[in-house]
Structure 1
Amino acid sequence: MTISAQTATPFDSIDLRNTLGKFATGVTVITARGVDGRPVGMTANSFTSVSLDPPLLLFCLANSARSLPDFVAAESFAIHVLSADQHLVSRQFATPAADKFAGLKVTEDEAGVPEIEGVLARFSCRTVSRNQEGDHTIFIGQVQTYKKLDGDPLLFFSGGYRLSQEHPAVPSRRQ
């Protein structure tokens, strides 16, 4: 089945963005090796699991992003799920800077992709496809390795960072 794009409906873009912001998301930092070999990274909340077999994840990057050529050229990338106390890391990667990795403990995976230490979860992925849709490019990667730590996630909701809490009416199922 093929779905074709319709002509854009004339929504108020600010109101649409605010309405989309009513969906709480986790906060991630995506990293890769740039075209010139330097480490690149950005903050993103457009991340989701696509498939468990094979293990596929996706993230979206604005076509206007300065790092788009670096991510398009990259054969691999890493997705870092930030913990509740890493809001400053999120801001660091969301702000233009000469060295977004300054002050962080960073290692490299087997493909040379920068990996930030101490995050809630990390997925090292091999890029399997890129698709431009609207004003973003969708990147799909196959998970090569992953790691998880205990902790609470950093959330983004209605334009700001939030913390999670267990629902008082539902028993905890921490894993």
Structure 2
Amino acid sequence: MARFPSGVVVLTSALPDGTPLGMTCSSLCSVSLSPPLLLVCIRSGSPTLEAIRARGAFAAHLLQEDAQSVSELFSSGAPDRFDRVRWTPEAATGVPHLLDGAHAVADCEVRQCDTMGDHVVVFAGVRQIRIGPEAPRPLVYGLQQYTGLPLRRGVPSP
């Protein structure tokens, strides 16, 4: 699967005591438009998965091309990652929202979790989406490298 390029997402949540947790993820996909549902696959035993399950909510930050450093930070395991980025808790859920690097953020509530192999598939309803004012190039990862997805205006979506 390292040969399959995909968008880069940072998932964030918080433990019941408010401790923020987050991780880089490339296994996010849309499940349904009506109602809006998505899924993410997270390694069993992940501290971020623990927070997502405990809080029942998370934010999916779709990263833009210039946010490679954010992706690398949240995939590093650095315990001080939230000290090194600007963020704020979302009012309704307390889930951390990164203030830089995302071209869109989906606020999600957990609907179902299924264990598959060494991962947990988290199905979530999308409560709200925030889209940035500009349309930057999305960050893509594949073949062990980052790139931005070129945007072409006037081309219909598949």
TM value normalised by structure 2: 0.88
Distance in 2 between residues matched to 1:171 and 1:122, nearest whole Å: 24
> Is contact 2:113-2:120 (8 Å) kept?
yes
Q: 1:74 is matched by which residue type in structure 2?
A: R
Q: What is aligned with 1:10?
A: none
Give the CA deviation at 1:48.
0.5
* Residue 162 in structure 1 maps to residue 143 in structure 2: no
Please provide the CA RMSD for this pair.
Answer: 1.9
Q: Which structure has the greater CA radius of gyration?
A: 1
Flag the 1:80–1:42 CA change in 2: closer, same or farther, 3 A.
Answer: same
Identify the structure with the greater strand proportion.
2
SS in 2 for 1:86: helix
Deviation of 1:42 after TM superposition, in Å, equals 0.2
- The residue identity in structure 2 corresponding to 1:159 is Q
Q: Aligned ranges for residues 26-65 of structure 1 at < 5 Å?
A: 26-65=7-46
Deviations 1:112-168 (A, max 9, x none): 00011231110001111111011100111111111112210110011221222247x
- In percent, how many aligned pairs have the same letter? 31
Tell me the matched-pair count.
153
Q: 2:146 & 2:58 partners in 1: Cα distance?
A: 24
Paired residues of 1:166 and 1:172 also in contact (CA < 8 A): no
More contact order relative to length (CA 8 Å, sep ≥ 6): 2
Q: Partners of 2:55 and 2:82 in 1: how far apart?
A: 18
- Segments of 5+ residues of structure 2 without an aligned counterpart are none
1:88 is displaced (CA, Å) by 0.3
**TM-score, normalised by the number of residues in structure 1:** 0.80
State how far apart, in whole Å, the 2-side matches of 1:86 and 1:45 are.
Answer: 14
Q: Is the 8 A contact 1:47 1:57 kept in 2?
A: yes
Contact 2:106/2:128 (8 A) holds in 1: yes
For residues 69 and 171 of structure 1, the distance between their equivalents in structure 2, rounded to whole angstroms, comes to 42
Query: Which stretch shifts more, 94-103 or 45-54?
Result: 94-103
